[in-house]
Structure 1
């Protein structure tokens, strides 16, 4: 995809210093014009039209700049690759380096206090930034490399986890039993729907499993629910927390990009343990993973399954990707699903909302076993024991090299960063959330 540059974008020379000055001047003007307008919900139709025109011109300038200078920008933000900042540090570093290129911490914090329809949409500017960084081959590889490193939170918890064999991480627990790292999600207040907090807890758990030498296989499963409809039953994953999305609490950087480039990519490709040139062979730790799907895997839950080595579902479970109905992009499912289930079925699932039940013949394209609920524990243990083999890591790595080259994933994630950021602020997404998901009592 080649995004349009739009009208009135500054003429770029190809010189980083000169272009920084030219784009900086236009972005400064845009900030001044927006500051003169009332809050988004209070604008008249004419003021709304003016605000959108200002945003469009500023975004055209940002697109042109990061298209031309994505690699140089990353070099400036990382001391030519000598440091490895994660997504937030890159985003806010870019805001400091070229004011207006991306929103500052203060701007994002203020946006987070607004419901989604009332936001100005500054996260779209973060999407533009990461489109530019990821599409630059070296910069994008370095960025992905940085996101595969252990998080500071996991490193701080590692010694205690190695000693105790267990960690309570808020919405996730991880426990080591007989060489198996059991990651249990218990975001029970929302049926294990995903949000910013869960993303942080989940990545920490994945890191601990990968870093602890006493763990050979990882298992992910949902906890038992307290919701009356599912009381006492385990739920694997109910997708993105749409109430939090409407209320402005779902982050492009800390959730939507982090989950793809962070823990999902770590499950698939392993964790990087040494700094170095991303063009050189990885210094990484990989382990096989088992997913146990009780009840359902909706949205992000089904996306997760596409990177697991063995998936077990109970007989009554189902899989679905309702992102088109919600109005957003279902993560990297668009990148992976056709390879897993075939071209036509992938389109029926993503574009048509096809729900695949464990009893359907097509289910065995998504999972490896379908078992009665009472047999799930035994099936999980057996699968983990089969994968606990020294030759598994090397073979799964070669399968990944063949099935999903890192360069193709980088290219997809560049486009995803831009497209998903735009979808987050699309009017149809807001209308759908208000009409379908958000009760009157939950609205402000």
Structure 2
């Protein structure tokens, strides 16, 4: 049984309060518009005139969707979640919306067909997901509920938890998690690609963060890059090269499964904790723990974004941090919200808009990292920082610091606009050209 058939009677037998009734007319208009798109050649084969026509049709249909959601976003969300009694993660939510409101967002089959194409050959249906999620997230009713849904443990983590509690080890494709004397040591181990993130790594990272947070024997977490097999850094630890641009060019970086899940999943959990039902829930809805990051070699792009949610950052003296957003053409996650808190507005603009690198040896690096250690002293420095964060009062104070520095509503408002702006950027001509060129050079 689909969600649409499980719900009460729809437009034909419902009332005007049913949002499916309100969607009936714009939904028919969307259907007619999409038929015009299917009459055109595939996106990469269109003439300039056909591309202009497709853009005009998309603009018309997206305006219809946006106007509908401006009025009905809360009613749509309540219908999909049973008046907010069910917690649907991002992917589940957009699939449910596609089922109950045909044409409002693309369905799984359409997205699967798009996923098989390189970025340059896609129609850009994920932009419609961005419109939908922007409306949901900016709602003060639906938005907080969706944030909570993303903070709940993933089903995969819950399946792996008993074994991890028993053995203290969880091996995944891109992450190794080991519990050692109360420390959850999370090692990113995409050794052939400098820990460049793709959808698999986002899934593995969220699973590992969930396990560390849920295991009662863990007091503090550590995230560090493993040793690389990549020719340029063979045998050296590397933190992260950020988004995998080759995957982006080939069409393998989804809006929901990577770009949004990453921010509202494991990165948000590193800061806020995991939302669970537990005996002491009256004290806090979240199970959270302090986290340390150890930066070897570099933290580029998404790697630099990660550092902004850690309680303590140790960097090797020969490492650097950069956010090459202007070069890549995309929005660097939540860095535009968080970086200014650390560096001030001038440095944040230099880093994000102009591509400035911050080297660990320069004074401005102390705005982003807590300690700088010589490469041979990294291990000892990291262990001392872990011991300092094991204090009894650390949890309460980090919780209050995070609440003061980034209230949930501030993140929600930012992510509402990010959902659409990032979708627009990954389908922009300049990003497609740069990502395609990167893939051609590296392949």
Q: Assess same fold via TM > 0.5.
A: yes
Counterpart of 2:296 in structure 1 is 294
Aligned partner of residue 141 in structure 2, secondary structure: helix
When structure 1 is superposed on structure 2, of 76-85 and 40-49 the one drifting more is 40-49
CA contact (8 A) 2:250 2:436 kept: no
Counterpart of 1:10 in structure 2 is none
Counterpart of 1:51 in structure 2 is 54
Q: Does 1:158 align with 2:185?
A: no
Counterpart of 1:94 in structure 2 is 97
Deviations 1:123-179 (A, max 9, x none): 101111100100111100000000000000000000000000000011001000010
> CA 1:323/1:395 → structure 2, altered by over 3 Å: closer, same or farther?
same
CA contact (8 A) 2:20 2:101 kept: no
> Residue 431 of structure 1: CA displacement?
2.1
CA distance in structure 1 between the aligned counterparts of 2:337 and 2:54, rounded to whole angstroms = 34
RMSD of the TM alignment (CA)?
1.6
Deviations 1:327-371 (A, max 9, x none): 000000000000111011111111111100000100010000000
> Residue 196 of structure 1: CA displacement?
0.2
Counterpart of 1:19 in structure 2 is 22
> Which residue, out of 257, 277, 280, partners 2:260?
257
Q: Counterparts in 2 of 1:288-437, with a 5 A limit?
A: 288-435=290-437, 437=438
When structure 1 is superposed on structure 2, of 84-93 and 61-70 the one drifting more is 61-70
When structure 1 is superposed on structure 2, of 255-264 and 22-31 the one drifting more is 22-31
> CA 1:328/1:393 → structure 2, altered by over 3 Å: closer, same or farther?
same
Deviations 1:181-231 (A, max 9, x none): 000001112110011000000000000000000000000000100112101
CA contact (8 A) 2:351 2:357 kept: yes
> Which residue, out of 114, 123, 126, partners 2:126?
123
Counterpart of 2:192 in structure 1 is 189
Report the TM-score when normalising by structure 1. Answer: 0.93
Aligned partner of residue 221 in structure 1, secondary structure: strand
Deviations 1:250-300 (A, max 9, x none): 01101110010000000000000039xx9x984111100000000000000
Counterpart of 1:284 in structure 2 is 286
Deviations 1:51-74 (A, max 9, x none): 111111111111111121111111
Report the TM-score when normalising by structure 2. Answer: 0.94
CA distance in structure 1 between the aligned counterparts of 2:30 and 2:184, rounded to whole angstroms = 49
CA contact (8 A) 2:330 2:422 kept: yes
Q: Which runs of 4+ in 1 moved over 4 A?
A: none
Q: Does 1:140 align with 2:143?
A: yes
Deviations 1:402-429 (A, max 9, x none): 1100001100000000100000100111
CA distance in structure 1 between the aligned counterparts of 2:94 and 2:41, rounded to whole angstroms = 26
CA distance in structure 2 between the aligned counterparts of 1:260 and 1:222, rounded to whole angstroms = 19
CA contact (8 A) 2:43 2:123 kept: yes
CA distance in structure 1 between the aligned counterparts of 2:147 and 2:172, rounded to whole angstroms = 24
CA distance in structure 1 between the aligned counterparts of 2:26 and 2:342, rounded to whole angstroms = 43
Residue ranges of structure 2 left out of the alignment (5+ in a row): 1-15
Deviations 1:377-407 (A, max 9, x none): 1111111111012211110010011110000
Aligned partner of residue 232 in structure 2, secondary structure: helix
CA distance in structure 2 between the aligned counterparts of 1:219 and 1:184, rounded to whole angstroms = 8
Counterpart of 1:216 in structure 2 is 219
> Residue 45 of structure 1: CA displacement?
2.4
Counterpart of 2:439 in structure 1 is 438
Aligned partner of residue 329 in structure 1, secondary structure: coil
Counterpart of 2:9 in structure 1 is none
CA distance in structure 2 between the aligned counterparts of 1:323 and 1:51, rounded to whole angstroms = 28
When structure 1 is superposed on structure 2, of 26-35 and 399-408 the one drifting more is 26-35
When structure 1 is superposed on structure 2, of 80-89 and 68-77 the one drifting more is 68-77
CA distance in structure 2 between the aligned counterparts of 1:198 and 1:161, rounded to whole angstroms = 19
CA contact (8 A) 2:73 2:136 kept: yes
CA contact (8 A) 1:323 1:329 kept: yes
Aligned partner of residue 390 in structure 1, secondary structure: coil
CA contact (8 A) 1:14 1:68 kept: no
Deviations 1:103-130 (A, max 9, x none): 1111111111100010000110111110
Counterpart of 1:9 in structure 2 is none
